[in-house]
Amino acid sequence: MMKYYSSAEMQQHSFYRMPKVLICDKKYCELSNNAKLLYAIILDRASLSESNAWIDEQNKVVVFLTIDEACKLLNIGHNTATKIFKELDDYGLIERKKQGFARANIIYPKLPQPTEK
């Protein structure tokens, strides 16, 4: 039988956080749910990076997440993960910087920009 969340369970469990703008703003309505979830994972990694002072010379948080790691986390194939990273690039939610052969790309998460009113 499934248990309900109590106040204690809410404090014990970890959760991914996602900016509401990705759900509520029309600018992001076409962004796939997998891309939104991957973005939440990247933000979670960014929080860890920030606490470890993984910041570049321009004070941008540096995140390392390989396509293979994304495949495992989202239970998807390599081609799908590649498309999701490109989708996040296209929406301006991340910037990737290549580091060279067999090294993970550096990912810079960007702030979502709501539609101007």
With 0-12 / 13-18 / 19 or more C-beta atoms within 10 angstroms meaning exposed / middle / buried, residue 95 is middle
Q: What is the domain-level CATH number for residue 51?
A: 1.10.10.10
d(CA 56, CA 74): 28
Q: Give this prediction's pTM.
A: 0.89
Q: Would you say residue 41 lies in a domain?
A: yes
CA distance from start to end of the chain: 47
Q: Would you say residue 114 lies in a domain?
A: no
Q: DSSP class of residue 105?
A: P
Q: Would you say residue 84 lies in a domain?
A: yes
- pLDDT, one tens digit per residue, over 12-71 is 778 889 999 999 999 999 999 999 999 999 999 999 888 888 899 999 999 999 999 999
* Number of domains present in the structure of the chain: 1
d(CA 49, CA 109): 11
